[in-house]
Structure 1
Amino acid sequence: MFRRQRRATGQFALPVGVTPDGVRSSSDCTGKHVARGCLLFRPAAWKTRYDRTSPSGEMATFELTFRVVSREKITIGAGTFDAFCVRAEGWRIDNHGRRTVTYWIAPDKVPRYLSMEFARYRKRGGAAVEYWREELVTFDAG
């Protein structure tokens, strides 16, 4: 179960699942890149570009640069975990709206992110127009 603290409106989430070959992935490949970046190789940074269709049918293209910035202990409602902190910064291509995403994962313990912070900005250098943070409140490894 997740608890989300939210300011402004909108939805953004990176639900991570496990593919049949055991690789963690998400609908926009972000989780897949992160899991491979953390577990199989550790690039200094990597980029991904993806298209997303909103519930209203609007299509947008995003380009993000990801970095594994640290490995740290994180304490959330579901417990304390030794986690990778992953930070992504990038843009919505059509309107130059900046996005930042920071999340913590412990791929050997939980098959999705533990906590995530998201911020959306209107223009380069502008103030955040949307911010939210969510964290895992409970988790049953069984």
Structure 2
Amino acid sequence: MPAETTISTIIPASTSPESVLKALHDHECYIRITCPQLISYKHISGTPNQLNESCLYEVTDKKPIGQTTFKLTLTNRDDGIEANVDGKAPTGALNIISKWVVSGNKLDEVVTIDSNMLMKKMIKGNVEKSHPEQHQGFYAAAAQA
């Protein structure tokens, strides 16, 4: 059974929800903010930054145990973005689905983690710790737009 967690943050008053949505829809921005140890990424298919079209990327980033490469599918939605990480770790396969939604003055993110029990617990803890900072990264990107 997958694990699920929700991260909600308030969009700063000085930042418009529309500019946050624009930052979420910018796939390069999304990858750089959500993969802070990014080594490289490659666009595989789809038209980036289009609504309701899935785009596939191959992403390589650094982890404490070395580097890892995974598939990332991004789909822009009217109110946010959906992201699907499909990866293989030394401990087994993992699938992480994130749904980011701009709603009023909030950014809500629902994350569903499907992996073995040990990995689910570790990933969920990491998401709950690091994703509020990622939200702040989108607010900073939105403020620069």
Q: Per residue, is there more helix in 1 or in 2?
A: 2
Q: Specify the TM-score bucket, using the shorter chain as the normaliser.
A: 0.3 to 0.5
Q: Which has the higher contact order (CA 8 A, sep 6+)?
A: 2
Q: Per residue, is there more strand in 1 or in 2?
A: 1
